[in-house]
Amino acid sequence: PLATRAGMEILAQGGNAFDAAVAVSAALSVVEPYSSGIGGGGLWLLHRASDGFDTLVDGREYAPGAASATMYQDKDGNVIPRASMDGPLSSAIPGMPAALVYMAKKYGRLGLARDLAPAIKLARDGFPLDQRFHDRLVGKQALLQRWPAATAVVLDQGQVPAVGWLLKQPDLADTLELLAKQGDAGFYQGKRAQQMVDGVRAAGGIWTLDDLRQYKVVERKPLTGDYHGMHVVSAPPPSSGGVVLIEILNILSGYDLAHADPVQRIHYVTEAMRYAYHDRADYLGDPDFVQMPLRLLMSPDYAAGLRATILPDRATPSSALTSVSMPQLGNNTTHYSVLDKDGNRVSGTVTVNFSFGSCFMAPGTGVVLNDEMDDFSSKAGVPNGYGLVGNSANAIAPHKRPLSSMTPSFLETRDGIAILGTPGGSRIISMVLLGSLDFFDGGDARSIVSLPRYHHQYLPDVLEYEDGAFTDAQVAALQKMSYTLADHGHWGNMQAITWDYKTGKVTAAADPRGIGTGEVH
C-alpha cells in the first residue's frame, strides 16, 4: 500500500505512468526489500499513448565478469546446494538503479529526483513493520544474521522486531539520494560502487568496479501474439515469459475452450503449458548470447503441430518429451500495473529473486543484494530453485543475463485493455496465461487477480493446483487421464488493471493473497 501511495502521489503531482513506475519501484525497495529493490532488477513493459509505442525496458541483472558456467559446481561436477542462492556469490550486478534513471529521463516528465522523493522519505522517516515483512524476516532470520550490515538494518539487536516497529533505513535513503543527484554514477561509480565491491568481495563474492561501470539497460521490442482477436504484448528474452505465454495461447487457439467442459479445458491448458515450458528449457536464454528460434516457437503452424500430438483424454507423460525434481514455492518479487489519465501504461515486474535475495547487504549501502544467479542453469538438466531445468542456452557466462520468467503484459481487445503480471518464479507465466484467458472471457481486474490457479511446467511432471481450484470430481477425472496432481496451497501476488471501453470503467485490483492495494482516481 505504501508503494501504491508513492505512485499515486507522483501522478497527483503531474507525473505520468512512467514517473509513477519509477516511484513505485523505488518505494518497493524500501517497504518490500524481500521482494524487489535497487539491489535487484526488473522488466518494465511501457505503452506510450500519444503514438501507441510499446517497448520493454530490460533492467535485468547480469552476471559478474568473473562468473563461469561451472561456478556453482564442486570438483566432481555436482551442483553445490544453495551456492547460487545465499550470500554475495549468488548476486548478479543490479539493473534496477540504471533502469530507474533511464525511464525517468527518457519517458518521465517530473525528473528522477522528484520520482525518487517518496521512497527517500519512506527510507529516512521509516514506516511501521507489517505482518508480511515480519513473517519474511522470521523465514530468513538465520541467513540475514550472517551479514552484519543486513542484521543492523532489518533486525533489532539480531532479533526479528515486532509488527509495528518503526523501520528506518538511513543508508538506503542516502543511496537513493546519491542516485537522485548523480544518476547512474551515484550507484555504479564512486563511493557506493566501491562500498559494494569491497563488501561483496570481503564476503566471498566476485564483483569488480568494472562490472558495475559497464552495466547497461537495454530497450527491447516486446513480443506480440494474437488469441482469437485479443492482442497480446509481452516480455521478450531475456525473459521466457512472452514466448511461453504466446506459444501456449497459440496451441489453445485451436480448441473451442468456451464450450469445453471444465476438465477438458484444464487438460488442454495443462498440455499446452507442458509443451511450452519444455521449449523454454530447451531453447531460451539471453538474446545477446544465444540464438533462439523465436519465430518458429511463436508460429501458429508450430503450435498446430504440437496440438496434433495432444490426446483429448489423456495426459502426455513429460518423459515422452525429453528429465528432473520438485520446485520450491516462491513468493517474492513484485509486480505493479500503472495506467495514467492519458492512457500511458506500465506493466512492471521487479525482483531480487528469493526472499531477501542473497540476504547480503554490503556495509554502509542499505541495499539488499539479489540472488538472481540462481535463474541460470548451474548445470544442464539440474533444476534450479523453481525446479526449472535448462541447458547451454541458459548457462552462466560473464555479463550474461539469466533467463527470467517475469511476464509483464498488456492485453488488448476491441472492448478494452488489461495490464497484468505477478511474481511467482516459474509459475508467473501460467498465472499470466490464466489471467489472460479470464480477461478474454470477460473478467475484470478483480476477477483476474482472484482466480484459482493451476500450473504445469513440463518438469516435474505434476499438475499443481491451488486449494479449491479443482473440485473432487475434477481431481478424480484428471487422475483418470493419468495426471499426477499436487495441492500446493496458494501462490502469486498479481496486480492488474482493466479498462472497459464500453462503460469507461477502470478497475485496479491487488491479489487477495497479498497485502497490495489498487487505487483508481
Which residues of the chain form contacts with ligand DON (CB under 6 A)? 330-333, 351, 353, 372, 375, 404-406, 423-425, 428
Identity of the residue, 366 or 424, whose beta carbon is nearer to ligand DON in the bound complex: 424
Residue number closest to ligand DON, CB atom: 330
For residue 467, the tally of other CB atoms under 10 A from its CB is 10
Rounded Cα distance between 93 and 64, Å, is: 6
Q: How far is the CB of 296 from ligand DON (least distance, A)?
A: 23
Half-sphere exposure of 429 (CA within 13 A, CB side): 30
Residue 406, all three cell numbers:
517475469
Q: How far is the CB of 240 from ligand DON (least distance, A)?
A: 8
Q: Can you tell me which residue has the cell 550474461? A: 400
For residue 505, the tally of other CB atoms under 10 A from its CB is 12
Identity of the residue, 330 or 408, whose beta carbon is nearer to ligand DON in the bound complex: 330
Work out the burial of residue 382: count CB atoms within 10 Å of its CB; fewer than 13 is exposed, 13-18 middle, 19 or more buried: middle
Whether residue 28 contacts residue 3, with contact meaning beta carbons closer than 8 Å, is answered with yes
Whether a cis peptide bond, with omega within 30° of 0, leads into 423 is no
For residue 220, the tally of other CB atoms under 10 A from its CB is 17
Identity of the residue, 318 or 332, whose beta carbon is nearer to ligand DON in the bound complex: 332
Q: What angle do CA 374, 292, 402 make, to 5 degrees?
A: 15
Q: How far is the CB of 404 from ligand DON (least distance, A)?
A: 3
Identity of the residue, 173 or 429, whose beta carbon is nearer to ligand DON in the bound complex: 429
Identity of the residue, 285 or 416, whose beta carbon is nearer to ligand DON in the bound complex: 285
SS3 annotation, 447-512:
HHHHCCCEECCCCCCCEEECCCCCCHHHHHHHHHCCCCEEECCCCCCCEEEEEECCCCCEEEEECC
Q: How far is the CB of 334 from ligand DON (least distance, A)?
A: 9
Identity of the residue, 416 or 423, whose beta carbon is nearer to ligand DON in the bound complex: 423
For residue 405, the Cα-to-chain-centroid distance in whole angstroms is 6
Q: How far is the CB of 227 from ligand DON (least distance, A)?
A: 23
Q: Strand 345-351 relative to strand 41-48: parallel, antiparallel, unpaired?
A: antiparallel
In 284-312, alpha helices (H):
294-297, 300-308
Identity of the residue, 103 or 428, whose beta carbon is nearer to ligand DON in the bound complex: 428
Sign of the Cα torsion 331, 488, 381, 237 reads: negative
Active site residues: 333
Sign of the Cα torsion 279, 396, 55, 406 reads: positive
Identity of the residue, 425 or 460, whose beta carbon is nearer to ligand DON in the bound complex: 425
Q: What angle do CA 406, 408, 410 make, to 5 degrees?
A: 150
Whether a cis peptide bond, with omega within 30° of 0, leads into 97 is no
For residue 304, the tally of other CB atoms under 10 A from its CB is 13
SS3 annotation, 167-231:
ECCHHHHHHHHHHHHHCHHHHHCHHHHHHHHHHHHHCCCCCCHHHHHHCCCEEECCEEEEECCEE
Q: Which helix (H) or strand (E) holds 396?
A: none
Identity of the residue, 105 or 220, whose beta carbon is nearer to ligand DON in the bound complex: 220
Whether residue 249 contacts residue 84, with contact meaning beta carbons closer than 8 Å, is answered with no
